Amino acid sequence: MRFADANIFVRAVIGDDPARKAACDDLFLNVDRGEVEIVTCEAVITEIVYVLSSRSRYGLSHEEIRARLSPLIRMRGLRLPGKQIYLEALDIYASRPALDFEDAVCVAHMRQQGIDEILSYDKDFDRLPSVRRVEP
């Protein structure tokens, strides 16, 4: 098993380097089939979303990012602790264009644990009816 860094996912999603895209597509086809296993982590998923959403680089919308990244996260051979949290976070992120992905990950963690209150000064959470923001 090998660890996959963010740039491997970005090359597959963006395709701005045809040779690398082809290599990543081959890799991910084998991962999707379960013939190859790779592992990644929360920091990598967060970096992928940051890079894809960056206006100075690719400027993809929240919905485009979810549409392109969700199938990769769902791959059978991808080991990602808390995989369902990141899929839910992408859904939250896509439905709330003003919300940062990191905040969407927090909300997904909260939902999984049955928590509806967050200690934060970040008023973006006020836009989510299922979350009550409390300042300490």
pLDDT tens per residue, range 97-111: 889 999 999 999 999
Q: What is the pTM of this model?
A: 0.89
Tokens of 31: 């991962």
Tokens of 109: 């963690």
Q: How far is it, in rounded angstroms, from Cα 6 to Cα 48?
A: 5
Q: Domain range holding 42?
A: 2-134
What is the rounded average pLDDT for all residues in the chain? Answer: 94
Closest residue by Cα to residue 92 from 133, 40, 134, 128: 128
Q: Which residue's structure tokens are 């400027």?
A: 59
Query: For residue 134, is pLDDT > 80?
Result: yes
Number of domains in the chain: 1
Query: For residue 56, is pLDDT > 80?
Result: no
- The whole-number average pLDDT for the span 106-121 is 96
